[in-house]
Amino acid sequence: MAYQNAAEMCNSKIVTEYLCRNGFSVEPKKVKHNNETSKKEDEDEVRLADIEAAYTTVLRGLGENTNRPGLLRTPRRAAKAMQFLTKGYHETVYDILNEAIFDEDHDELVIVKDIDMFSLCEHHLVPFFGKVHIGYLPNKKVVGLSKLARIVEVYSRRLQVQERLTKQIAVAISEALQPAGVAVVIEAAHMCMVMRGVQKMNSCTVTSVMLGVFREDPKTREEFMTLIKRP
């Protein structure tokens, strides 16, 4: 019995260290009860009021009359929109991937391309948007395909720069699946370049992150790049 308890403690320690090393919480996932949900809703409502007040100040700073009919509810609408556009701060990859990683004897390239992406530039708080292409070479584990799009949502629904967003997506997939390699390419238009600044309407920003075999093997990288360009 003592030997069994010691073995269980050892296994528990190994699992805990693995989870911590790969960016996952070691706390068991909790089911939200009504009182917990109500508390979160109360906190969100308090934050909403603060954001609403800030938008009211901004509108007045622009010289607008916030009491005119067209703007009476604009600060609240804008506050709710901003909460939605940044909801990724309150989501984790662990929650997204829970029970969606499967053992599978597959070691060939998996690609999900043309994932719609919308985010906010952290420098000007204006949108940038485009497509995300993801590829990975499984190492006996695969993930539900829709979860790759959900990972994009987790990180894009925050204040971002495209370079960091690309890396965060790639690293999250790599840490969760431990594949032979991960490739992520993002093509996006930035409103901070289109609506203001240099005002270049047709500019497109492309960023990529290659991990594992995609970085080390030119043929694998070329295969991925060729496939994502096909219509």
User: Which of 207, 205, 215, 206 is CA-nearest to residue 174?
Assistant: 215
Task: Give residue 197's pLDDT.
Answer: 87
* Residue in 64, 83, 124, 223 annotated catalytic: 124
State yes or no: is 153 an active-site residue.
no
Q: Identify the helix (H) or strand (E) that includes residue 50.
A: helix 34-61
Contact between 183 and 136 (Cβ < 8 Å): yes
Dihedral, CA of residue 29, residue 33, residue 39 and residue 41, to nearest 10: 90
The model's pLDDT over 203-214, given as tens digits with 9 standing for 90+, comes to 999 999 999 999
State yes or no: is 133 an active-site residue.
no
Structure tokens at 58: 């901004």
The model's pLDDT over 177-188, given as tens digits with 9 standing for 90+, comes to 999 999 999 999
State yes or no: is 106 an active-site residue.
no
Task: Give residue 77's pLDDT.
Answer: 97
Low-confidence ranges of the chain (pLDDT < 70): 1-41
State yes or no: is 122 an active-site residue.
yes
State yes or no: is 90 an active-site residue.
no
